[in-house]
Amino acid sequence: MVDVSSERRLGAALVGIAVLAVAAAQMMSPFAQPPLYDGPLPSPYVWLDAPAGQPSGAQSATMSFEPTKDHSNPLIVLSTPEYTPQAQFFALAGSFTVPAGTTSILATITPVEPEAPPPAGYIDGNVYEMSVNDQAGAPLTFATGATPITVAMRGINDPSVTGITDEMWLYEPGSGWLDAQSKYAGTAATYLANMTNLGVFALVAPGQDPNATPTPPATPTQPGATPTQPGATVTPSPGASATSSATSTPLASGTPIASATPTPIVPPPGPGSGGGGVPILSIAVLALVAAAIVGIGLFAYRRANRPPAPPSRPVQRRPKPRRR
Amino acid sequence: MTVARPTARRDVSGSPSLRLVLRPILLVAALFVAVALRVDMDHLTLPAMSVDVLFAAALMALAVRAGWRPSGLARPGWRARLRPSSVALGIGSGLVLVLIAEVFRPYPALDLVTHPQWFPAWAGVTVLVATGEEVFLRGALFDACRDLGGLPLAIGATTVAFALIHVPFYGWHVVPLDLGVGLLFAGLRLVSGGVAAPAIAHTVADLATWWM
């Protein structure tokens, strides 16, 4: 036999205390991503050049926009069609200077072959070329002082699971690979970078490519060009824009990539502080709290279910001796 | 109010006591096998979300095989029905989880866009997976553990199992959060007397992430 009302009281106590525990755990969480307690996992990564046993058929994305009346661009949000998208970018209205006579703005994301290996590590996933052009295919220029473009790319390494964090790099034909100063987005192995120009992007992971033979050391793409070392802050030379390919947007003259962060992206802590490792302290604290909660609940439950005290025996009066 | 809990069915191959011990153990083993298969099949070239549908279906089938039935169907002649109080409790608790996530996240959310055409499939699979997990954890496993060791075992085992099955997908950092959420869903199970309230809360919290 189960006392339903006492179970409900215990359940209500658990609900109340669990809400506090969830709030505490949410504050301790190293990632900003809202808690997806369950749901579909991201679909398998689709490759341009698939390793053995991996799916191929990486797709492009294209979208056209009409310029605004003040010779600017509207909000541009473009992403590849996978679940979760493998490449995407966001440009607020006014991010680009649109020359007079422009009738259409064409935004594209295309998976491409890498022109050169990264200076260290390996390319984690596909390389994507992102561009915003006018109707003739001429790249639009990033407007001075505008809010930077947010580029998001999905890789294979999810730092919350593997503990390995990728870095997003931008390939400039004249300068080689440039560190885009990306941050982990907190979900689905996706990384974000704020940019003042578009071009050819890749995620670069440290170590050896598990899907390929060891990569040869990087070589400069042009005489005199020096590949950037990982982690270095890069200021591309103004001349780099002159050597950009026709499909990539020229770099705003003299604007360092790393400085283009008006919308701060707060970096999640590294793997050592909870990303990939086991947060033993947090788990221990939560386990103690949970044990205390269950203990209190049990105490209340048992107290509510205490068998009723036996009824007191009626006082037996000794019969008075009969008078004779 | 006091009601009689349905007695455990007698197993043809063993005594009731052995069955009581084996049932939660086998259920936990089956749960982790299903999770392992989900992790492994994720690397196969299958249509998007098909692995998640299979996972949810497997959990529901295991729960039914273990003897779980909707509360109304457990009694002969009764029809299964969804009590409005359970629905309200589930929606309210789900919204509380969403509110907590919005208020207490360590830093503001960063916008990531998934194509809107994915939403119907995404929402359907999310509902299936959330419901499947609740039917299994707060339904079959909860009952099996309570029959064996009472409420402490039922609450503790389902809460810990809920936290651990998410580690392969989201990493160890979700364990503290999911321990709290598992405790909340166990409480909802006790308050409402069924799995509808935790399943609805779970679904609401999951669906909200599309807009978060």
CA–CA distance, B5 with A300 (Å, rounded to integer): 21
Closest CB to B176: pick one of A8, A18, A282.
A282
**Across B79-88, average pLDDT:** 76
Closest CB to B177: pick one of A16, A35, A85.
A35
CA–CA distance, A73 with A95 (Å, rounded to integer): 7
Would the CB atoms of A38 and B202 count as touching at under 8 Å?
A: yes
Would the CB atoms of B118 and A39 count as touching at under 8 Å?
A: no
Residues A298 and A243 occupy one common structural domain: no
pLDDT higher than threshold 80 for residue B34 = yes
pLDDT of residue A255: 34
Residue B51 has φ and ψ, to the nearest 5°, of: -65, -40
**Across B188-203, average pLDDT:** 92
Residues A110 and A187 occupy one common structural domain: yes
Residues A88 and A112 occupy one common structural domain: yes
Residues A117 and A153 occupy one common structural domain: yes
**A169: number of Cβ within 10 Å:** 28
Q: Which residues of chain A have pLDDT under 70?
A: 1-3, 30-41, 160-161, 186-187, 212-320, 322-324
> Which residue range is the domain that position A252 belongs to?
61-268
Q: Has residue A10 been placed in a domain?
A: yes
- Give the pLDDT band (50/70/90) at residue B183: very high
Asked if B42 and A41 count as a contact pair (C-beta separation under 8 A), the reply is yes
At A76, list the tokens: 């541009």
Closest CB to A265: pick one of B110, B121, B180.
B110
CA angle A204, A206, A211 (to 5 degrees): 80
Residues A181 and A73 occupy one common structural domain: yes
Side chain identity at residue B153, one-letter code? L
Tell me, yes or no, if B184 comes closer than 8 A to chain A by beta carbon: yes
Lowest mean pLDDT among B1-10, B35-44, B70-79: B1-10
CA–CA distance, A58 with A315 (Å, rounded to integer): 91
pLDDT of residue B200: 94
pLDDT higher than threshold 70 for residue B82 = yes
pTM reported for the whole predicted model: 0.62
Listed in sequence order, the residues at least 6 apart from B10 whose beta carbon sits closer than 8 Å to its beta carbon are B16, B19
Note the residue count of chain A. 324
Which residues of B are less than 8 Å from A15 in CB distance?
93, 184, 187-188, 191
Buried b (16+ CB within 10 A) or exposed e, A185-210: bbbbbbbbbbbbbbbbbbbbbeeeee
Residues A132 and A22 occupy one common structural domain: no
- Give the pLDDT band (50/70/90) at residue B113: low
**Across B170-193, average pLDDT:** 89
Tell me, yes or no, if B113 comes closer than 8 A to chain A by beta carbon: yes
Q: Has residue A169 been placed in a domain?
A: yes
Q: Has residue A39 been placed in a domain?
A: no
For CA atoms A68, A70, A71, A77, give the dihedral sign: negative
CA–CA distance, A174 with A115 (Å, rounded to integer): 12
Give the count of domains, chain B.
Answer: 1
Residues A206 and A130 occupy one common structural domain: yes
Instruction: Name beta bridge partners: A87.
Output: A153
Please give the residue that has the higher pLDDT: either A37 or B94.
B94
Residues A195 and A143 occupy one common structural domain: yes
Would the CB atoms of A15 and B107 count as touching at under 8 Å?
A: no
**Across B96-107, average pLDDT:** 77
Lowest mean pLDDT among A248-262, A297-311, B75-89, B170-184: A248-262
pLDDT higher than threshold 90 for residue B185 = yes
Q: Has residue A193 been placed in a domain?
A: yes
Asked if A84 and A94 count as a contact pair (C-beta separation under 8 A), the reply is no
pLDDT of residue A131: 92
Q: Has residue B66 been placed in a domain?
A: yes
Side chain identity at residue B164, one-letter code? L
pLDDT of residue A300: 60
Residues A78 and A150 occupy one common structural domain: yes
Listed in sequence order, the residues at least 6 apart from A248 whose beta carbon sits closer than 8 Å to its beta carbon are A129, A130, A131, A139, A197, A198, A199, A200
Could you say which residues from 133 to 152 on chain B have a Cβ atom under 8 Å away from some Cβ of chain A? 133, 151-152
Angle at which helix B196-208 crosses helix B175-192, to 10 degrees, equals 140
Q: What is the 3-state secondary structure (H, E, C) of chain A?
A: CEEHHHHHHHHHHHHHHHHHHHHHHHHHCCCCCCCCCCCCCCCCCCECCCCCCCCECCCCEEEEECCCCCCCCCCEEEECCCCCCCEEEEECCCCEECCCCCCCEEEEEEEECCCCCCCCCEECCCEEEEEEEECCCCECEECCCCCCEEEEEECCCCHHHHCCCCEEEEEECCCEEEECCCEECCCCCEEEEEECCCCEEEEEECCCCCCCCCCCCCCCCCCCCCCCCCCCCCCCCHHHHHHCCCCCCCCCCCCCHHHCCCCCCCCCCCHHHCCCCCCHHHHHHHHHHHHHHHHHHHHHHHHHCCCCCCCCCCCCCCCCCCCC
Which residues of A are less than 8 Å from B7 in CB distance?
none
- Which domain CATH number covers A99? 2.60.220
Q: What average pLDDT does the structure give for chain B?
A: 80
Alpha carbons within 13 A on the beta-carbon side of A166: 32
Residues A16 and A65 occupy one common structural domain: no
